[in-house]
Copies of this chain bind each other. A is one copy, B any other.
Amino acid sequence: MRTLKFAVLGLLNRRPMTGYEIGKEFDYELGQFWNAKHSQIYPELKKLLDEGLVVFDVEISGDILEKKRYTITEKGQLELLKWLHKDEPLEKTPKDIFRLRMYFSNNLDLESRIHLLESQLIQHEKRLSILNKTMEQYPEGVPPHDTDRFGDFIVLESAIMREEYAIEWIKKCMGYCKAALEKEQGKTK
């Protein structure tokens, strides 16, 4: 499906970048829904070059270091636009190891379950608080629909909602476990 291809084209359509800079982009908003390491990015850039979708200029940084700054071509922009318009069926639901674990959790005692849930809860709350902090960069609310910031904003909002949903579910599960625990302890007393 070559999705990385379009992630890279989309980024280069924002501004010319080096492979290294493309990698850095995944540290920000976009990283919540896509990611790639440099070991995947450099070969992809080479492919895009062969396909004529990008070109590069060599830039000298300092005395020796050569940086390849890639720019999207007109052909690249056309391919990107075509991909953006694609109305595709829903993807397979993504895998989730923690939910797999909880699926089999009837084999664990209630205390262990609560401990695992608590640990996940803390981590999700931490992640959510970072995302909320990032959201403070948009005090003006929704950015104009024809700017890059619009994309940044809506995926950030999605990431925040995803964390909120994750937290809500974990709390629900903890509620079930704690209720069962109290019922059991009531019996033993």
Contact = CB atoms under 8 A, between A and B. Distances in A.
Interface of A: 3, 6-7, 10, 13, 29-35, 80-81, 83-108, 110, 112, 115-116, 119-120, 123-124, 127, 142, 144-148, 150-152, 154-155, 157-159, 161-162, 164-165, 168-169, 172-173, 176-177, 180
B154 A32 contact: no
Copies in the complex: 2
Contacts of A172: 154, 157
A13 B107 contact: yes
A34 B93 CA distance: 8
A10 B104 contact: yes
Contact of A105 (B84, B94, B107, B123): B84
